[in-house]
Structure 1
Amino acid sequence: MWLINTSTLALENFVNPEKESYAILSHTWGPEEVSFQDFHDLDHARTKRGFAKIQRTCEIARQRDLRYAWVDTCSIDKSSSAELSEAINSMFAWYKHAAVCLVYLEDLAHDVAFDTGFVRCKWRTRGWTLQELIAPQFVEFYDQNWTLRTTKIAAKTVLTARTGVSEDVLLDSALLARLPVARRMSWVSHRQTTRIEDMAYCMLGIFQIHMPLIYGEGEKSFVRLQEEIAKQNCDLSLFAWTAARALFLPPFPGVPTSVGGDYEDSNFRGILARYPHEFADCSRLKFRNIVNSYKEFTITNRGLRIEAQLMQLFGAVPDDLVLNLGVCYENSRQVSRLSGDGWMGIYVRKTTNGYLRVWPHELYKSGPHNRVRCPRTVLYIRKDITNYDIALLRAQYTHAVRLDLSDLRTAGATLVQTHPFDLWDAHKQLFLDPGEGVNVYCEINVPVPGTFRPLRLMAACSTMTQPTCVIWTDRDVGWNDVLHFLGQANEITDYVAVDFLVRDLVPTKRSARNESVVEIDSELRVKFSVTLERAKIEDSDGFVLRVVG
């Protein structure tokens, strides 16, 4: 860490400088700033406009009996990528350990009140100045004439109103970890940086994250930041962002005026936000429970991996599945924690390649809706999607197979298993189509009157070439061969080759209708049949596999 000797104006290097041994400057950059190289020639440095800020900072530091000062323009050797990376990753700590932070507001006139003038100051809108406000314990604000106007402690109410940062965090940065990730993200949502990547890098200290700097990666830096946060934090509010409804977005900081090129449909997204401004509506979020029920999750090459119970909605619009994020809004209607209402979540939908987020422009707010918890399962939610993914999504209902067990369910039948599981959408009760048709099967238990042992059915179908379906019961002669074949096929591949099964085991049954007659006892014979019929599924040409008995 390079510190300026406030008496000699010479740069001195420290590995671990003593805490509160230096003053630190917070400002906005302008023309003719003094660089690290410039500062080694003081005569040349004095000819630049930015030198006055450095000189005044050192003067105030000397008045406070501080031997050293730090100014970002000249205290970082930006020609060294290693030193720049270390500085940016250490910046929050450097500001936190300063004896005092001097904020120079070059556009705050001497005759304008701080309360009214601060909102128009450029300093309030810059990304880097957020951590420079939060990290130091003592912050002083100076106007364009270097007149002391106020302090962070004295102006905490105004600062909270103008920046969104809560008063308790302004007074003690150690309280940052108590707030939801999404709420902290909201503080930078309306700020700007010169380089797109810095919109992510300026938040490293806010989340206590260290990561490599890769200038030139553009918006990917913000994705990397979210991935790093996910590695160290189990806070699901990381996914509480909301997207703009329109395809053409307003000119937010660091965002192209149009995002139409790579992302076609605004109703589908991955689990991660693309831009900081998508957290703008999270400024009032809080954890719903005092002790947050953290869920373990990880970011993998398939996206977010989390074991959770989704919520299935009934009679609501939209009626997709919901993932509970464990947060709610501050100052909203008080809801008893025992009521099960008040929490917020995101809408998700099953695809042939895991889940993705739907209706990303809104959050689900739990209320008096009819809903039921789905069985706990491991979910994979895509990190992001492209036009190609959307094309696959639109095609996944073509040749999809909806399972209709309504007739059997009246007799108490239960669905035991479905394969391939990755293609089974339990919410919509159908098998999705990964392309060129599907091969699937399901096992069903049907109660038998007068016995505790249910009758086992196996229904299978293929839509790959000629639509084919077949049904077996555990009373059929070839039942064990069926179980063995299906078990082996499931181990070899996720796609159960029903067409080969039909050809090799039951060649006479290759059709879109099949039946099996079961003799329960000498007086009772039951016929089970399965049909594979064409039907509309989500406005696409699919099939219905109907099992009756």
Structure 2
Amino acid sequence: MWLINVETRKLEEFFGIDRIPKYAALSHTWEDGQEVTFQEFRSSPTRGLKRGYRKIDLACRQAAEDRFKYVWVDTCCIDKSSSAELTEAINSMFNWYERSKQCYVYLCDLSITTDKVENIEGCKWFKRAWTLQELISPIEIKFYNRNWDLCFSKSSALTQLSTITDVDARALNHSKPLNTFSVAQKMSWASSREATRIEDIAYCLLGIFNINMPLLYGEEEKAFLRLQEEIIKTCPDPSIFAWKLPSAEVTTDNASDLLHGVLAPSPEYFSECGGMDRLPQQQLPQFSMTNHGIKLRAQFAPIHFSKPRGSAYVLPVCFIGTQLHSIRTRNSGWGYFVRQDPTNLAPTPSKNSSTRHMLEPYLLTQLHTSSGLQSVNDIRSRRPRCLQFDLRRGMRIYRVWPWLQWDEVDNVFFSADVDETGWSALKIVTYPKKGEGNFSQQSLDFLFYAFNWSESPGSKPECMVRKVSGGLADRSLEDMNDRAVTEGWGPYTVYNRLEMAQIPKHSVILGDTVDGSSPLLTFRLDWVQDHHVSACPLWKVTFDLNFGRSD
């Protein structure tokens, strides 16, 4: 680490944290062509001719007055001609400001002496990307105007600084550890900040997220995507997915049908995330970066939406106050989930977790134009083979196999592979309803199997139902279904295993007596065309319940 000796005005290099002396740091905004570089400060006799030298001199004078022997200034204490040193400096900068015993903020565009923070809101220091970490990391900060007159300190103007910058006051005064704030909230602090180079909007956040990564100037927007990927590797906080698509970028009247990758293109997308809190530790999902996308293991909640119709799997990502919020996801095929309706978050019941499903999908981080996935219609156009289910009132799908091919919104199994024959199973819980009376408190639960439903267009699948009551044999069937999905069994193997277990192949099932009558569950298969589900004809399974006298 290079420091300026305030007495000799020469640079001195120190190695090892324990050998670095006490120092003050200068925070400022850069002026193009007028800053003193590392090389100029060391050897140029004309360094004082640049306008940027004045603030260095003023900082040295102030440090000497405050009894510091050294000052750190980013313009001249980093050898930017060395890419290795520049990378080390940017990855260490948050810590260097944090370890300073005093930080001086020089507001070059403030001409008046004021102790009112409201008067400095327009200063560009509060707009720049790099100065965000310089506001947060030092515990002691003094603010000076262009004449180097002291205006106020960080501690004396804490509330006003928090209001101006939208940074939580507890982060400013270090009363709450930075790693306990949600990822989304920390991103929101940078949402209105500006940087000269696109990459710097990501690099300026390295210290705030305690991330180290190489600098690749020229990667442009990819820098922010890479930052998010690095955060995911070390922090299991799903609020990183809680951003919203700005309304200015919505080019359709039906925003709820839009699809997007789960990562945001820039901090601007987190502008509404300032009040988001993390999920409790026990609710944090497991996820990791892979070459397929983000591998996730989490409990998804099925939620009913009135517009568009149907239910969908949502992923809980954060709390806003006491309300749990989730992002809406959509299976684009074989367990590759994308985000649907990125303009909104879905309020989610937080207490009832019994209906949640543990899933292990891949989350696609980006959707390039070449992917052909821009709206839900693009998903439906990729379904040459489908098996849809029409449920009566009182019926609820409890489990599905294989969930990799299941779309919760359209109640459909689908396959993009025309050569695949396909097998599927569902566990459905039904509360029979007699006439116009109330639903029975006793459920009629059943497993439904369909084989070879994607074999060829119009080729009728073989189907069967089995009443289940939660016994050992029923649980064994569900375990077998799980194993079939995990090990990739084909329909022939699953069918044979059912035969080996001597599972009866019923086409109807009779439920227990309810008020003197018994519910009879039947189903029928229809070859239909439904462009809201698929561009191709599909098989539709319709369940029906009728009541007959038990005597």
**TM-score, structure 1 as length reference:** 0.78
Aligned match of 2:328: 347
Aligned match of 1:460: 451
Aligned match of 2:264: 273
Compute the displacement of 1:414 (Å). Answer: 8.8
Contact residue 259 and residue 373 of structure 2 kept, 8 A: no
Work out which of the residue numbers 318, 321, 325 in structure 1 matches 2:313: 321
Aligned match of 2:16: 16
Contact residue 244 and residue 343 of structure 2 kept, 8 A: yes
Contact residue 314 and residue 371 of structure 1 kept, 8 A: no
Alpha-carbon distance between aligned partners in 1 of 2:166 and 2:282, rounded to the nearest angstrom: 23
Aligned match of 2:76: 74
Alpha-carbon distance between aligned partners in 2 of 1:8 and 1:358, rounded to the nearest angstrom: 61
Amino acid aligned to 2:283: S
Contact residue 260 and residue 367 of structure 2 kept, 8 A: yes
Work out which of the residue numbers 282, 306, 310 in structure 1 matches 2:300: 310
Contact residue 23 and residue 98 of structure 1 kept, 8 A: yes
Give the SS at the match of 1:127.
Answer: coil
Compute the displacement of 1:283 (Å). Answer: 0.9
Compute the displacement of 1:303 (Å). Answer: 2.1
Alpha-carbon distance between aligned partners in 1 of 2:146 and 2:521, rounded to the nearest angstrom: 90
Contact residue 461 and residue 532 of structure 1 kept, 8 A: no
Amino acid aligned to 1:186: S
Alpha-carbon distance between aligned partners in 2 of 1:388 and 1:245, rounded to the nearest angstrom: 23
Structure 1 residues 75, 153: CA separation in 2 closer, same or farther (over 3 Å shift)?
same
Give the SS at the match of 1:39.
Answer: helix
Amino acid aligned to 2:264: A
Work out which of the residue numbers 525, 539, 543 in structure 1 matches 2:538: 543
Contact residue 352 and residue 423 of structure 1 kept, 8 A: yes
Alpha-carbon distance between aligned partners in 2 of 1:313 and 1:413, rounded to the nearest angstrom: 12
Matched, 1:432 2:414: yes
Work out which of the residue numbers 93, 103, 113 in structure 1 matches 2:105: 103
Alpha-carbon distance between aligned partners in 2 of 1:378 and 1:425, rounded to the nearest angstrom: 15
Contact residue 20 and residue 97 of structure 1 kept, 8 A: no
Alpha-carbon distance between aligned partners in 2 of 1:160 and 1:518, rounded to the nearest angstrom: 66
Alpha-carbon distance between aligned partners in 1 of 2:486 and 2:185, rounded to the nearest angstrom: 45
Alpha-carbon distance between aligned partners in 1 of 2:81 and 2:9, rounded to the nearest angstrom: 21
Matched, 1:299 2:299: no
Compute the displacement of 1:547 (Å). Answer: 7.0
Structure 1 residues 455, 300: CA separation in 2 closer, same or farther (over 3 Å shift)?
closer
Amino acid aligned to 2:164: R
Work out which of the residue numbers 521, 533, 537 in structure 1 matches 2:527: 533
Give the SS at the match of 1:320.
Answer: strand
- The within-5 A match list for 1:343-492 is 343-353=324-334, 354-366=336-348, 373-391=355-373, 394-397=377-380, 398-404=383-389, 406=391, 418-419=401-402, 421-434=403-416, 436=418, 439-443=421-425, 458-463=449-454, 465-471=456-462
Contact residue 304 and residue 312 of structure 2 kept, 8 A: no
Contact residue 209 and residue 228 of structure 1 kept, 8 A: yes
Work out which of the residue numbers 19, 33, 36 in structure 1 matches 2:35: 33
Amino acid aligned to 2:207: G
Matched, 1:63 2:58: no
Structure 1 residues 106, 423: CA separation in 2 closer, same or farther (over 3 Å shift)?
same
Deviates more, 1:464-473 or 1:225-234: 464-473
Amino acid aligned to 2:316: N
Q: Percent identity?
A: 32
Give the SS at the match of 1:85.
Answer: helix
Give the SS at the match of 1:87.
Answer: helix
Alpha-carbon distance between aligned partners in 2 of 1:446 and 1:119, rounded to the nearest angstrom: 59
Alpha-carbon distance between aligned partners in 1 of 2:209 and 2:396, rounded to the nearest angstrom: 51
- The within-5 A match list for 1:36-51 is 36-51=38-53
Contact residue 453 and residue 461 of structure 2 kept, 8 A: no
Contact residue 351 and residue 432 of structure 1 kept, 8 A: no
Give the SS at the match of 2:289.
Answer: strand
Contact residue 400 and residue 432 of structure 1 kept, 8 A: yes
Alpha-carbon distance between aligned partners in 1 of 2:183 and 2:139, rounded to the nearest angstrom: 22
Amino acid aligned to 1:14: F
Aligned match of 1:479: none
Give the SS at the match of 1:439.
Answer: coil
- The within-5 A match list for 1:226-305 is 226-247=228-249, 267-287=258-278, 293-305=283-295
Give the SS at the match of 1:343.
Answer: strand
Compute the displacement of 1:231 (Å). Answer: 1.4
Structure 1 residues 194, 265: CA separation in 2 closer, same or farther (over 3 Å shift)?
farther
Alpha-carbon distance between aligned partners in 2 of 1:121 and 1:113, rounded to the nearest angstrom: 14
Give the SS at the match of 2:451.
Answer: strand
Alpha-carbon distance between aligned partners in 1 of 2:396 and 2:47, rounded to the nearest angstrom: 84
Alpha-carbon distance between aligned partners in 2 of 1:273 and 1:493, rounded to the nearest angstrom: 34
Alpha-carbon distance between aligned partners in 1 of 2:181 and 2:286, rounded to the nearest angstrom: 18
Q: Write the deviation string for residues 441-485 of structure 1: whole angstroms up to 9, x where unpaired.
A: 2357999xxxxxx9987532355644212426699xxxxxxxxxx
Compute the displacement of 1:536 (Å). Answer: 0.4
Structure 1 residues 369, 317: CA separation in 2 closer, same or farther (over 3 Å shift)?
farther
Alpha-carbon distance between aligned partners in 2 of 1:103 and 1:381, rounded to the nearest angstrom: 42
Compute the displacement of 1:192 (Å). Answer: 0.7
Alpha-carbon distance between aligned partners in 2 of 1:97 and 1:301, rounded to the nearest angstrom: 38
Aligned match of 1:480: none
Structure 1 residues 174, 42: CA separation in 2 closer, same or farther (over 3 Å shift)?
farther
Give the SS at the match of 2:314.
Answer: strand
Alpha-carbon distance between aligned partners in 1 of 2:131 and 2:509, rounded to the nearest angstrom: 79
Contact residue 314 and residue 369 of structure 1 kept, 8 A: no
Compute the displacement of 1:432 (Å). Answer: 2.2
Alpha-carbon distance between aligned partners in 1 of 2:364 and 2:406, rounded to the nearest angstrom: 17
Q: Write the deviation string for residues 193-234 of structure 1: whole angstroms up to 9, x where unpaired.
A: 111111011011111111111111111111111111111111
Aligned match of 2:475: none
Compute the displacement of 1:316 (Å). Answer: 3.8
Compute the displacement of 1:55 (Å). Answer: 1.0
Structure 1 residues 414, 185: CA separation in 2 closer, same or farther (over 3 Å shift)?
closer
Alpha-carbon distance between aligned partners in 2 of 1:88 and 1:531, rounded to the nearest angstrom: 64
Compute the displacement of 1:239 (Å). Answer: 1.1
Alpha-carbon distance between aligned partners in 2 of 1:413 and 1:88, rounded to the nearest angstrom: 54
Aligned match of 2:514: none
Aligned match of 1:512: none
Contact residue 2 and residue 14 of structure 2 kept, 8 A: yes
Compute the displacement of 1:373 (Å). Answer: 2.4
